Structure 1
Amino acid sequence: MRYAQGGGLTAERQAFRERLRFEAAGRFAQGDESSVIAHDLRVSVRSVQRWRKAWSTDGVQALASKGPASLPLLSDALFTVLETELDKGPVAHGWPDQTWTLSRIKTLIGRRFHKTYTIQGVAALLKRHGWTCQVPARRAVERNEAAVAGWVKETWPQVEAPRRRSGRGWSSRTKPASR
């Protein structure tokens, strides 16, 4: 499985997939059918067919791992620089409040490093380096608890749709039979 923005299989998983391909090559030499090999190795028949074609054209070396599909756009050194920029806070970078969003971090990466990430790519980048989503733990200083309580008691009941009364309603099965 590959992931956006330079993710992909781990080195361990790449080695495992390579071992599967080499095992399939041995089975190709024995003359086994693709469907049997796919069933035994628990892979798709189409994958085995691709491997067989590569093996018949270029031999076993064609089935060797070619390494990661792509390298991350931000190296570990550049991510360290990004972390120092994030520590400065959003206000230092021109945003009006102290909230980092994925969109803002994407913009910061573009401005600072001239690299383009998707929103999902930024989320994967942060997760890969141990960052997590944060939700504010405290309420806004400006919050007026008395006004909130009054709104809940007075305004909300008027806005809320009336509820159906419990009890028996009328339907084709509950209507009294006409005589």
Structure 2
Amino acid sequence: MRAKYKPSDYEAFRKRCVEMKEAGWRQKDISAALGLTEGWVSQTLKKYRDSGAQGLLARKATGAPPRMTSDQLEKLVEELKRGAQHHGFSGEIWTRQRVNALIERLFGVSYDPTQVGRILKSWDGSLQKPAKKARQQSTQKVNQWREEVLPGLKKS
């Protein structure tokens, strides 16, 4: 099993890789000596040829570009404030699935429902879950049950 390295380790490997190549080593021998794949060595040398020493520096991975612009996010916030019923949903609760459907309808972009919460959080939307309480529940009867029935059910 291959060990996991930190980005700074890879930077050192890249620099060593270039030094070895400039000393006359073949790519195959470099990969064997450093315990890296030939493809990795090849990519490193290509980065060095294209960008020089700057191409060898470790940098944070950028990730995928956002699918929605900041203007679209602002428009989404405005539309969310208009309410769920305004957009054809029953009730005024926004769920991730509903927000995703609205995003798809407005901008033609679809997200995984798990990512919709991250988008909402980016504009300081508060994540709220409706309380799970039966509509027909009577507070008076619940308190009465707790006082009269519950003590008899508990182990002594």
Give the TM bin, normalised by the shorter chain.
0.5 to 0.7
Identity %: 21
Match of 2:100 in 1: 106
Q: CA deviation at 1:156?
A: 5.8
Structure 1: distance between partners of 2:106 and 2:149? 48
Structure 2: distance between partners of 1:50 and 1:151? 71
**Aligned equivalent of 1:148, options 125, 129, 142:** 142
Kindly indicate whether residue 109 of structure 2 is the aligned counterpart of residue 115 of structure 1. Answer: yes
Q: Is the 8 A contact 2:117 2:127 kept in 1?
A: no
Kindly indicate whether residue 74 of structure 2 is the aligned counterpart of residue 52 of structure 1. Answer: no
Structure 2: distance between partners of 1:59 and 1:82? 40
The structure-2 alpha-carbon separation of the partners of 1:76 and 1:55, relative to structure 1 and needing over 3 Å to count, comes to same
> Greater relative contact order (Cα 8 A, min sep 6): structure 1 or 2?
1
Match of 2:3 in 1: none
**Aligned equivalent of 1:76, options 59, 64, 70:** 70
Which amino acid in structure 2 is aligned with residue 118 of structure 1? D
Structure 2: gaps spanning 5 or more residues: 1-6, 21-29
Match of 2:17 in 1: 28
TM-score, length basis structure 2:
0.61
The structure-2 alpha-carbon separation of the partners of 1:23 and 1:76, relative to structure 1 and needing over 3 Å to count, comes to same
Q: CA deviation at 1:106?
A: 0.8
Count residues in correspondence: 132
Alpha-carbon displacement from aligned partner over 1:129-168 (angstroms, at most 9, x marks no partner): 333313569x99976321322344466678x6x74x6xxx
Identify the structure with the greater helix proportion.
2
The structure-2 alpha-carbon separation of the partners of 1:132 and 1:24, relative to structure 1 and needing over 3 Å to count, comes to farther
TM-score, length basis structure 1:
0.55
Give the root-mean-square deviation of aligned CA atoms: 3.8
